[in-house]
Chains A and B, each alone.
Chain A
Amino acid sequence: MSVRTKRRLPNVGRILAIGYLAIVVIITLFPFYWMLRTAFSDNYALLGNPASLLPVDFTWGPFQRVLGLQSVEDARAEGGSGASVELASYLRNSIIYAGIATFCQVFFAALAAYAFSRLHWKGRDLIFGILFTALMIPGILTLLPNFVLIKDLGLLNSFAGLILPGAFFSAFNIFFLRQFFLGQSTEIEEAAMLDGASRLRIFFRISLPLASGPLTTLSVLGFITYWNDYFWPLLVSSDESTQPLTLALAVFKQSSPQAQPDWAGLMAAALLAALPMLIMFGFFGKRIVNSLGFSGLK
């Protein structure tokens, strides 16, 4: 952790800065409060008082609905649909999908990033440039062909089908890690090489552990992205053996353009879905935030 001496700004500047931060914090947090307020409200009562600052007709119902703990009648009475949400399966699927996909994505990217930065071989920069353009491919261009490919491979409604397209190659991760490796000093590695260690051993024993910060960062960010992934699982999964949490929560979406959505349930669902990541971020937070310091510098 870098040690810094606090600079004393002139009072005016300091007040302005703190004021600015306060505004940022308020604007950031207020919508979350709004979600919370809605998640504790009764849907119909909400209709009567949409702008109330406090929960309208306070109820635990929406959270119960999301967790599958509310009866159909009670759910209907509060404006929910009464459809059941098998949370356990969806949760398990999300963990498997996000977990495996993230691991694969980060691991393969680390291998490649090392090759693009530490090793020297013909065509290195050219190939990197080509891979880099993949960042700019509009999602829609790849969506259908990937879907057809997965279907042809017979992998629809399977975890392999869900994970494969993104797991092997992530332009962003490679770019990120390459920047990191480029900024790393090579002294230790050179010393190890002089000692006779092979490249690979150096990679696994030295370089990779040194990169634990960025690796953690990418893993957390990747996990969050996969956790929130909606459209691809929508196309590929068809039942609770593979559907992740995001799809299950679609139960709370508007069922038809004219139907009344279960707003309270949706908010409760969104908050609960974000919870695992909040916990994870809280746990790794300090580490991530401090470890992001490397990209593009030296």
Chain B
Amino acid sequence: MSSVKTSPVGAPPRRSKRRATAARVGDARLAWILIAPSVLGFLVFAAYPAIRGVYLSFTDYRVLSAPEWVGLKNFQELMGDDKFWGSLGVTIQFVILTVALTMIVSIASAVILHRVTSSTLIRSIVILPFLISNVVAAVVWSWMLDRQLGIVNIALEALGNDSIGFLSDRGWVVPTLAVITVWKTAGYTTILVFAGLQTIPPQIYEAGKLDGASEVAMFRRLTLPLLRPILAMVLVLTVIGAFQVFDIVQVSTKGGPANASLVLQMYIYDKAFGQFDFGYASAMSLVLFVMLIVISFAQMRLLRASESDQN
């Protein structure tokens, strides 16, 4: 396949300003035409519903009758809602575990795939979990982790240990859900990181070896910095995705035991479709939305992800 042309490491940044202003005016017109469908789609199917959602969060909307303006009431209630704060805590715990585990596994797998073996078979295996639906994945893992009849616990007991309530014990449930989520998604992020690694010219490693650097040192000093932009992108996307987890939890624990795994999306969904309290659900969604924006932009800022544009 066509290889991407890249300038060697250390070359001066390519400045787009170099291009003449000849096509500027035409650029603008053409640009607007090109982005027209996307902007249209954005406005109609993303911006409008989001704005409507924001409006709804200031109303009491029972779905089957018209919304009634109540100002900040939903948000005030939200502040005092223990269940909301609890679910926020659960979600944050879940996000931290999932993202940490995903990044570690992805980077480790990708690096090993890059430096030790280049088997396409293994790369294909690694992405398999992505191909089945979340629901099915959750079902299968729930069976395997059942305290009494699950194969994992049976193996544990055969080895002389006690069985563990992976999905029924308050302390275990969130880490277990994180592991299931990582199982499902790590393959995909591994491939992304792996591809990023492939664009690093091998000469660097040769040079490093000649200088006597160890693999680990080379990883730290060479690989990581070069990978920063792609790692930043993966991190941002993983965090956003983890905050919105729903299917896997809904199917395996339904938020239990005793709300120990009630992630935010589940509480929102329950309020909206279970209790038909759409105003309140919208208020919670708004809070989540704002949080995600702040976190994502902070991450990008911190990791200087967009610097790649200028390099």
Query: A: which residues have CB within 8 A of B?
Result: 1-5, 7, 9, 13-14, 17-18, 20-21, 24-25, 27-32, 34-35, 38, 50-51, 53, 108-109, 111-112, 114-116, 119-122, 124, 127, 131, 133-146, 149, 164-169, 171-172, 174-175, 179-180, 182-187, 190, 193, 199-200, 210, 212-213, 224, 228, 230, 246, 266-267, 270, 273-274, 277-278, 281-282, 285-298
Contacts and interface: CB of A to CB of B under 8 A. Distances in A.
B232 A296 contact: yes
Interface residues of B, number: 112
Nearest to A188: B5
24 contacts: A2-B3, A2-B199, A9-B215, A18-B117, A28-B129, A31-B129, A35-B136, A51-B151, A114-B34, A115-B31, A116-B35, A142-B50, A145-B53, A168-B42, A212-B2, A270-B136, A273-B133, A289-B123, A289-B124, A293-B4, A293-B198, A293-B199, A296-B308, A297-B230
B182 to A, nearest CB: 10
Contact of B195 (A134, A175, A187, A290): A290
Query: Which of A133, A139, A213, A286 has its CB near the most chain B CB atoms (within 10 A)?
Result: A133
Contacts of A290: 1, 195, 198
A140 B269 contact: yes
B311 interface: yes
Contacts of B76: none
A293 B311 CA distance: 16
Given A115-B35, A127-B35, A295-B230, 7 more contacts: A2-B199, A119-B28, A135-B237, A142-B45, A199-B27, A270-B133, A295-B233
Nearest to B126: A28
B116 A224 contact: no
B240 A140 contact: no
B46 A137 contact: yes
Contact of B45 (A31, A146, A267): A146
A228 B288 contact: no
A17 B116 contact: yes
A122 B63 CA distance: 42
Contacts, number: 308
| Interface majority SS (helix, strand, loop, mixed), chain A | helix
Interface of B: 1-7, 14, 16, 19, 23-24, 26-28, 30-32, 34-35, 37-42, 44-50, 52-53, 63, 105, 108-109, 112-118, 120, 122-133, 135-137, 139-141, 143-144, 146, 149-151, 154, 183, 187, 191-192, 194-196, 198-199, 202, 205-206, 209, 215, 226, 229-230, 232-233, 237, 240, 244, 265, 268-269, 272, 278, 281-282, 285-286, 288-289, 292-293, 296, 305, 308-309, 311
